[in-house]
Structure 1
């Protein structure tokens, strides 16, 4: 079986059948355990995830019920044999051991690490391909189909930041390989998806300018300036402003390159 967190949360069997826990809160419990495979997740963390600062008096009993039903699913659906220990009680909480089964977050993190190592060693084609493979695992926002509390929200933010950094490293590798023109459509989409991300906008401005599309580059800068001013009351960073100056003054850019 395989556990999917990078997109809608689900469990898939070897024959492609999709399975979900019986209740949203049971899904939260299983998802939180899967964020820390082979690690004990304390009961307090699980209760905080489920009920924040207002747990009911029956919180511990209710949590134990969710765990009971999750175990029944793992066995009843044929995902674990009756004697197979996957969801384990261990003081002061529970842990899940997905050894022998797939976990997309673990696969994603390992590919990102491999891609970074390849980039650091100058193996740009391998880096771009490996980081691309990592990003292909995503099928939507992490845990898109379940409600998340404070603990899982922190984890989804971590995953999203790791995803953005993987995108950046892949773009850096492809630019060094001379694929700047081919990156323009992707950079346009990223700039729309992340309207306050100055790095994506800077890459798009630079790519457009290098391809002789100065007017479009200037428009991207104006759109970024307007978004930052409207949302945060700030101007683009000095690096982005210098890039804007170079678009306006090609002589200054050629002087810098010299």
Structure 2
């Protein structure tokens, strides 16, 4: 059965599946490692083919991307030479996907036949679409989660290795516009779930970077008002009006003016309507191995483990405290950690998780960070279709899942 969500198809491919990454440094990954794609011109052609995946890229377009000149009688032959190198670069990916070739030769040029789910830009677009659908449907929690997952796929600027390529400028601009729109949608979702003060820093920066986007100004004004900073919210409107008039020759829109009017009138509609439904939680999950009844010794070490959280409880109540137990194999490090975890379990009612990283298990490879995150996310009730392949995106989702616990 097919799926409309590219992230589901990527999840089915597994962590060893191919990935085409353009939302940052350009790379093609296979089995978790980047492929050697060749020189700058090979990489430029491949980037152009990915941007036009499923469509024919003409020889003239390729010539312009490579040499910034019009095609000559000898251009098709030269392009064919380069395309043969592109084919060789993609051969390991074609083999992994079980197809003879990813490129199709057409009369007018070449086409890259690629599952959209393998391209991070297409996965981003799918998640943004799902997030916007949820936002319109009145489900801001799901909307925020989908949009955050999509935005976490960005590692830099789109096609950043090809900033001077005229042939990629239109696609780059399109993706960056979609990214900014996704950020605005995610902020709307956050505001709908009751956020306010936590968004001020981000929105201040965004409104300075994109002064012509009234939606950002309105969101900043709302966040400031919710934080009890009514005067600052009114000042934000004054700054927005000045920028719009001086830089763009525009008066504030009726929507922005309405937010201003509501702030002046202390309109309750600017405040959160209600607490949004919480994410599903696997209540009280306990994965800890069994404790031992006759644990003895290690009093000093145990006392330190049990009290370390108290040292930051008042100054940094949401801080994550990490303690590492070091020592030779077989001296009881794991037993001590499990015993301490059972003693602390009452302070962590949401869940108590355990994972064996097999760092020294004979005949077994150590667990990778991506695999560890997959196990932990599933333990919290996150379904497989929601878990991205990219390790950075998994880390972002893990942080999001822990944020309310």
TM tier relative to shorter chain? 0.7 to 0.9
User: CA separation in 1, counterparts of 2:82 and 2:257?
Assistant: 54
Please identify the structure whose Cα radius of gyration is greater: 2
Q: Which runs of 5+ in 1 are unaligned?
A: none
User: CA separation in 2, counterparts of 1:104 and 1:72?
Assistant: 22
Instruction: Look up the match of 1:193.
Output: 209
Match of 1:225 among 241, 245, 266: 241
The answer to whether the Cα contact below 8 Å between 2:22 and 2:121 also exists between their aligned partners in 1 is yes
Q: Tell me: CA distance 1:200–1:184, structure 2 relative to 1, closer, same or farther (3 Å).
A: same
Match of 2:28 among 11, 29, 35: 11
Residue 2, structure 1, aligned to residue 22, structure 2 = no
User: CA separation in 2, counterparts of 1:125 and 1:166?
Assistant: 15
**Taking structure 1 as the reference length, what is the TM-score of the superposition?**
0.83
User: CA separation in 1, counterparts of 2:99 and 2:269?
Assistant: 71
Residue 107, structure 1, aligned to residue 118, structure 2 = no
Q: Which moved more, 1:236-245 or 1:133-142?
A: 236-245
Local SS of the residue matching 2:252? coil
User: CA separation in 1, counterparts of 2:204 and 2:258?
Assistant: 20
The answer to whether the Cα contact below 8 Å between 2:54 and 2:111 also exists between their aligned partners in 1 is yes
Q: Deviation string for 1:114-164 (max 9, x for gaps)?
A: 222222322221111011101110111101121344442111111112212
Instruction: Look up the match of 2:351.
Output: none
User: CA separation in 1, counterparts of 2:132 and 2:163?
Assistant: 32
Instruction: Look up the match of 2:386.
Output: none
Instruction: Look up the match of 2:224.
Output: 208
Residue 62, structure 1, aligned to residue 78, structure 2 = yes
RMSD: 2.9
The residue correspondences of 1:116-135 to structure 2 (distance < 5 A) are 116-135=132-151
User: CA separation in 1, counterparts of 2:270 and 2:236?
Assistant: 22
The answer to whether the Cα contact below 8 Å between 2:222 and 2:270 also exists between their aligned partners in 1 is no
Residue 141, structure 1, aligned to residue 157, structure 2 = yes
The Cα shift of 1:204 comes to 0.3
User: CA separation in 2, counterparts of 1:21 and 1:133?
Assistant: 31
Instruction: Look up the match of 2:57.
Output: 41
Q: Tell me: CA distance 1:116–1:100, structure 2 relative to 1, closer, same or farther (3 Å).
A: closer
The answer to whether the Cα contact below 8 Å between 1:229 and 1:235 also exists between their aligned partners in 2 is yes
Local SS of the residue matching 1:145? helix
